[in-house]
Amino acid sequence: MIPPNILVTDWQGDPSEEDMRALYALYDRILPEGADIYACSIMSHSGMPTPAARRVAASSPQSSRFRAMAFVGASFHFRVIIGMVVKAQSILSPHQGTPSVGFFDTLPEAVEWLTKQQSLRAAPV
């Protein structure tokens, strides 16, 4: 975790259903119950998530807690898949809203963007 509460995952290989379940279990252990999730996934050495992993990402209760997700080094195909997963989340949990999604070349760029997303969400309306 990178302060302020940005969770970073460096994926290796094709993310599986078990990988996604383990990641969400980790979120439950290290974040307070109900806390917003700001996540950064490094995808430079990752393949495509399996269909089962995509289903978990779209339907898990933790998915509704994502406020912003940044992806570093994601391929074009992965970007398309993420778009579909985010759309599925918005359909399955319309009351939660859709998380902001950004794609970046470097981790510092992604962290800067996520920090800004946190600030925007915390700002009074």
Alpha-carbon dihedral angle through residues 114, 118, 123, 125, given to the nearest 10 degrees: 90
| pTM of the model as a whole | 0.82
Q: What is the residue extent of each domain of the chain?
A: 6-122
Least-confidence region, from 34-38, 48-52, 77-81, 87-91:
87-91
Residue 12 is predicted with a pLDDT of 92
CATH code of the domain made up of 6-122: 3.30.750
> Residues for the chain: how many in total?
125
What mean pLDDT do residues 20-49 have? 86
Between 31-35, 71-75, 78-82, the lowest mean confidence (pLDDT) is in 31-35
